[in-house]
């Protein structure tokens, strides 16, 4: 009795919403959860969404799938995922597919794919973004895995995915093994960066310019109608406009200022360090969350370490300056994320198309934003761009924004308002455009203490100076 087009294992919030999304698109969906009560709950509450085939036993679940079988796992990342993969693999046959839609580390996905490939089973590690609402109504989907598996799986995933404004599904096969989860990880890293930058804009306007949350909510709403049009700006306006029912105060004032993290920002930075890619925006955002949560250090410093406390003369144009600084810094954050994906292509032998990444982030995911259309066009127009900032449209935007950007960073320093995201983005921009960097001096220091050698600007070759001797130079 093989009737189901696809199955979902793990019916917590993400799995049940994805299962409902499949069903609403006319697919017959097999559903299984370790605790059967959750399966029964899904059928009782949402059975009317479409055609579900519930099973209490995993063997019955597998038996209910059409060949080649497709089972999507939406369970807790880590050990639970390994356990479910093993149980499924024992019941499956060569040619079948196991799709992991959880937030797996891409190295785990590479390991799992290699192990299952030995057994003839396709393993598709796929990023799913958009939270529970996206899972139900159309997420951005970032699959890895074999081209062969995508032939039959792709149309099903594309059907339930978000659609970009031009109607294109926000789901594309990105490459083999860990490519999909890698792209999802970088997506989350950019999300960290974007949120930090918005937080800094808020802080500058609140503490620096003294604008109250209700007014700020209007400013962000207005920004959302222009270049900054994005989901994160939209929800920022909502959060700032919200009043706490219990106290009547702005909601943002009653929330403890300690940002949590589940680890994907940290992974992005760790891998970037291994790949040697400067993702300074993502790193600063991750560290800023850590600083906010470092209660011991903060308690020891508040009232002890002195400095200006927000008061500074600001230019008339300050609100618009902050908007421009935010836009320019955001472009840098995305440019760095794309650099990281390009570096992974070289390291892991992938061929992830940067234009396709930008295209599938246009809808459904947390970093969806109007300007991703421009980014998509930039990479598609010239896949060999050395950096997104070199695309003429983006060069123009950051060039036009830079006076405002510099005014904002200067004002922040004067006012004692921390802007690690804005400052790091501007420093990265200035670093990239500098004809000469102090790295020459660092090479001299390295040669001095460790005979690490250096290259010269005027001759080919590798050189060392006898620093502790007569300071003569030898060519090696
Ligand atoms: P959770 O991450 O909370 O996991 C709960 C599910 O895992 C339940 O179905 C539970 O079954 C099952 N499970 C566990 Br825990 N251990 C198991 C085991 N050993 N064997 C079988 N099943 C096991 O669910 P979620 O929040 O829906 O997220 C699912 C995945 O999607 C995660 O990897 C998450 O990182 C990822 N994700 C989440 C979001 C989001 O916004 N929440 C967004 C994108 C991706 P039980 O009912 O029997 O305990």
CA 157 – CA 49 distance, rounded (Å): 18
Mean pLDDT over the full length of the chain: 97
Q: Considering only CA atoms, which residue is closest to atom 12 of ligand 1?
A: 75
> What's 305's DSSP letter?
S
Ligand 1 and 76: CB distance under 6 A: yes
The per-residue pLDDT for 337 is 98
pLDDT, one tens digit per residue, over 380-391 is 999 999 999 999
Q: What is the pLDDT averaged over residues 25-46?
A: 98
Ligand 1 and 82: CB distance under 6 A: no
> 309 falls in which pLDDT band (50, 70, 90)?
confident
Question: Among 9, 55, 61, 80, which residue has the most ligand 1 atoms within 8 Å of its CB, making it the best to mutate?
Answer: 80
Whether the pLDDT of residue 311 is over 80: the answer is no
pLDDT, one tens digit per residue, over 330-358 is 999 999 999 999 999 999 999 999 999 99
Q: What is the pLDDT averaged over residues 428-449?
A: 98
The per-residue pLDDT for 312 is 79
Whether the pLDDT of residue 1 is over 80: the answer is no
Distance in Å, CA 269 to ligand 1 centroid:
24
Measuring CA to CA, which residue among 130, 126, 102 is closest to residue 181?
A: 126
- Under 8 Å CB-to-CB from 29, ≥6 apart: which residues? 4, 5, 6, 7, 8, 19, 22, 23, 50, 51, 52, 53
pLDDT, one tens digit per residue, over 407-436 is 999 999 999 999 999 999 999 999 999 999
Whether the pLDDT of residue 2 is over 80: the answer is no
Asked if the peptide bond before residue 105 counts as cis, ω within 30 degrees of 0, the response is: no
Is residue 184 part of the annotated active site? The answer reads yes
Distance in Å, CA 75 to ligand 1 centroid:
3
User: Of 70, 113, 158, 184, which is the active-site residue?
Assistant: 184
> What's 388's DSSP letter?
G
Q: Considering only CA atoms, which residue is closest to atom 24 of ligand 1?
A: 12
Residue with tokens 């997420």: 139
Is residue 148 part of the annotated active site? The answer reads no
Whether the pLDDT of residue 310 is over 90: the answer is no
Which SS3 state, helix, strand or coil, does residue 475 take?
A: strand
Rg (CA), the chain: 25
Question: Among 13, 34, 57, 143, which residue has the most ligand 1 atoms within 8 Å of its CB, making it the best to mutate?
Answer: 34
Please say whether the beta carbons of 350 and 366 come within 8 A. no
Q: What is the pLDDT averaged over residues 300-309?
A: 93
pLDDT, one tens digit per residue, over 178-202 is 999 999 999 999 999 999 999 999 9
Q: What is the pLDDT averaged over residues 324-331?
A: 98
Ligand 1 and 15: CB distance under 6 A: yes
Which SS3 state, helix, strand or coil, does residue 462 take?
A: coil
Ligand 1 and 237: CB distance under 6 A: no
Helix (H) or strand (E) holding 346: helix 318-348
> 313 falls in which pLDDT band (50, 70, 90)?
confident
DSSP string across 194-241? HHHHHHHHHHIIIIIT---HHHHHHHHHHHTTTTT-BHHHHHHHHHHH
């Amino acid at each position: 009795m093989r009737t189901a087009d696809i199955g979902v294992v793990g019916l917590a919030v993400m799995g049940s919403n994805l299962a409902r999304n499949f069903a609403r698109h006319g697919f017959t969906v097999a559903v299984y959860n370790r605790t059967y009560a959750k399966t029964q709950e899904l059928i009782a509450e949402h059975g009317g969404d479409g055609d579900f085939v519930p099973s209490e036993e995993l063997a019955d679940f597998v038996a209910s799938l059409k060949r080649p079988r497709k089972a999507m796992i939406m369970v807790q990342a880590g050990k639970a995922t390994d356990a479910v993969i093993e149980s499924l693999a024992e019941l499956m046959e060569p040619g079948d597919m196991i799709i992991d839609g959880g937030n797996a580390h891409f190295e785990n996905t590479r390991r799992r794919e290699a192990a299952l490939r030995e057994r003839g089973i396709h393993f598709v590690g796929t990023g799913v973004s958009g939270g529970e609402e996206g899972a139900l109504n159309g997420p951005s989907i970032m699959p890895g895995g074999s081209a062969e598996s995508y032939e039959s799986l792709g149309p099903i995933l594309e059907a339930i995915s978000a659609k970009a404004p031009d109607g294109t599904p926000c789901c594309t096969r990105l490459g083999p093994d860990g490519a999909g989860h890698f792209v999802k990880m970088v997506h989350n890293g950019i999300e960290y960066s974007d949120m930090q930058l918005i937080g800094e804009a808020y802080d500058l306007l609140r503490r620096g310019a003294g604008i109250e949350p209700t007014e700020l909510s209007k400013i962000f709403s207005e920004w959302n109608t222009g270049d900054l049009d994005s989901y994160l700006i939209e929800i920022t306006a909502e959060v700032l406009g919200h009043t706490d029912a219990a106290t009547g105060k702005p909601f943002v004032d009653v929330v403890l200022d300690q940002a949590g993290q589940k680890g994907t920002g940290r992974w992005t930075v760790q891998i970037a360090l291994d790949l040697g890619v400067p993702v300074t925006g993502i790193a600063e955002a991750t560290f800023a969350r850590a600083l906010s949560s470092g209660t011991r250090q903060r308690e020891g410093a508040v009232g002890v370490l002195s400095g200006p406390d927000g008061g500074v003369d600001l230019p008339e144009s300050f609100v618009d300056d902050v908007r421009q600084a935010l836009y320019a810094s955001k472009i840098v954050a995305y440019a760095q994320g794309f650099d990281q994906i390009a570096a992974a292509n070289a390291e892991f032998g992938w061929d992830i198309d940067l234009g396709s990444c930008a295209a599938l982030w246009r809808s459904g995911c947390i970093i969806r934003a109007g300007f991703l259309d421009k980014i998509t066009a930039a990479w598609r127009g010239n896949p060999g761009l050395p950096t997104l900032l070199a695309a003429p449209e983006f060069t123009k935007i950051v060039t036009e924004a830079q006076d405002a950007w510099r005014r904002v960073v200067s004002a922040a320093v004067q006012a004692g308002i921390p802007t690690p995201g804005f400052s790091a983005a501007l420093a990265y921009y200035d670093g990239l455009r500098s004809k000469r960097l102090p790295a020459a001096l660092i090479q001299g220091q390295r040669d001095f203490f460790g005979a690490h050698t250096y290259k010269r600007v005027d001759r080919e070759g590798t050189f060392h100076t006898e620093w502790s001797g007569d300071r003569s130079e030898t060519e090696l």
